[in-house]
Amino acid sequence: MKYILIVGCGKSGKGLGLELSKTENVVVVDRSLRSLDSLGDDFNGKKIWADAMDTNTLEQAGVKEADVVFLLTGNDNLNLVVSKVVKRKYGVKKVVLQVNDIAKEKIFKEEGLNIINRTNLIVEVLNKCIS
The Cα 91–Cα 84 span in angstroms is 10
Q: Is residue 112 at the binding interface for another protein, with CB under 8 A as the rule?
A: no
With CB under 8 A, what is the number of residues at the site for another protein? 20
Least separation in angstroms between CB 21 and another protein: 27
Least separation in angstroms between CB 13 and another protein: 17
The Cα 43–Cα 20 span in angstroms is 9
The Cα 64–Cα 91 span in angstroms is 7
- What percent of the chain is helix, strand and coil (3-state, nearest 5)? 45, 20, 35
Q: Is residue 89 at the binding interface for another protein, with CB under 8 A as the rule?
A: yes
Which positions touch another protein (CB under 8 A)?
51, 53-56, 75-78, 80-82, 84-85, 88-89, 101, 103-104, 107
